[in-house]
Amino acid sequence: MAVEASSTSPQPPHSMRAIAAWALAAVVFVWAHNRDTQFSMYWAFGLAFGFTLQRGRFCFASAFRDLFLLGHGRNMKGVLFGMAVASVGFGLVMSRQVPMIIEGIYPPAGNVVPLGVHTALGGVLFGIGMVLAGGCASGSLYRMGEGYVASWVAFAGLMGGLLVAVYTWNWWWQTSMSTGPRLWLPHTLGHPGALAATLLALAAAFVLVLRVEHRAGMVLPAPHVANAASEGVADDLRALGRTVFVRGWPVLTAGAVLGGLNVMLFTAQEPWGFTGEVSRWSVGLAGVFGAAPGPLMGADQLPGCVFVPSDGTLFNHMTFLVIAMWLGSFAGALGAGEFKLRIPKQPVRYVQSLGGGVLMGYGAGIAMGCTLGAFFSSIPSLAVNGWVFAMFLALGAWIGTQAISRIA
Classified as helix, coil or strand, 370 is coil
Nearest to 301 by CA among 368, 360, 365: 368
Cβ density class 85-103: b for 16+ within 10 Å, e for less:
bbbbbbbebbbeebeeeee
32 found inside a domain? yes
Question: What per-residue confidence (pLDDT) applies to 311?
Answer: 66
Classified as helix, coil or strand, 382 is coil
Which residue pairs, CB below 8 angstroms and at least 24 apart, start in 90-99? Answer: 90/262, 90/263, 90/266, 90/271, 90/380, 90/381, 90/382, 91/191, 91/194, 91/195, 91/198, 91/380, 91/382, 93/263, 93/266, 93/267, 94/186, 94/191, 94/381, 94/382, 95/191, 98/186
Query: How many C-beta neighbours within 10 Å does residue 308 have?
Result: 20
Per-residue pLDDT of the chain (408 residues; tens, 9 = 90+): 344 444 444 556 668 899 999 999 999 999 999 999 999 999 999 999 999 999 999 999 999 999 999 999 999 999 999 999 999 999 999 999 999 999 989 999 899 999 999 999 999 999 999 999 999 999 999 999 999 999 999 999 999 999 999 999 999 999 999 999 999 999 999 999 999 999 999 999 999 999 999 998 876 555 544 555 556 666 556 665 666 666 789 999 999 999 999 999 999 999 999 999 999 999 999 988 989 888 899 888 888 777 776 666 778 999 999 999 999 999 999 999 999 999 999 999 999 999 999 999 999 999 999 999 999 999 999 999 999 999 999 999 999 999 988 876
226 found inside a domain? no
241 found inside a domain? no
Question: What per-residue confidence (pLDDT) applies to 7?
Answer: 42
Q: In one letter, which amino acid is 390?
A: A
Question: What per-residue confidence (pLDDT) applies to 236?
Answer: 53
171 found inside a domain? yes
251 found inside a domain? yes
The distance from CA 20 to its chain's CA centroid, rounded to whole angstroms, is 25
Rounded CA separation 148/341 (Å): 6
Cβ density class 322-350: b for 16+ within 10 Å, e for less:
bbbbbbbbbbbbbbbebbeeeebeeeebb
Give the Å distances, CA to CA, from 226 to 7, 128, 243.
21, 41, 12
238 found inside a domain? no
Question: What per-residue confidence (pLDDT) applies to 240?
Answer: 59
Rounded CA separation 37/403 (Å): 46
Total number of domains constituting the chain: 1
Question: What per-residue confidence (pLDDT) applies to 243?
Answer: 65
Classified as helix, coil or strand, 231 is coil
Rounded CA separation 227/72 (Å): 28
8 A C-beta contact, residue 330 and residue 46: no
Give first-to-last CA distance, the chain, whole Å: 63
Residues paired with 342 in a beta bridge: 148
Question: What per-residue confidence (pLDDT) applies to 233?
Answer: 60
283 found inside a domain? yes
Residues paired with 148 in a beta bridge: 342
8 A C-beta contact, residue 394 and residue 66: no
Cβ density class 19-55: b for 16+ within 10 Å, e for less:
eebbeebeebbeebeeeeebbbbbbbbbbbbbbbbbb
Question: What per-residue confidence (pLDDT) applies to 229?
Answer: 55
Helix runs in 221-378, H state only: 233-245, 251-268, 275-288, 317-335, 347-367
Concatenated DSSP letters of 8-25: SPPPPHHHHHHHHHHHHH
- Phi, psi (degrees; rounded to nearest 5) at 368: 65, 45
Rounded CA separation 36/317 (Å): 9
Q: DSSP code of 375?
A: I
8 A C-beta contact, residue 104 and residue 373: no
Give the Å distances, CA to CA, from 209 to 78, 206, 242.
11, 5, 30
97 found inside a domain? yes
Question: What per-residue confidence (pLDDT) applies to 242?
Answer: 67
8 A C-beta contact, residue 369 and residue 378: yes
User: Which residue range is the domain that position 313 belongs to?
Assistant: 13-216+247-407
Question: What per-residue confidence (pLDDT) applies to 226?
Answer: 52
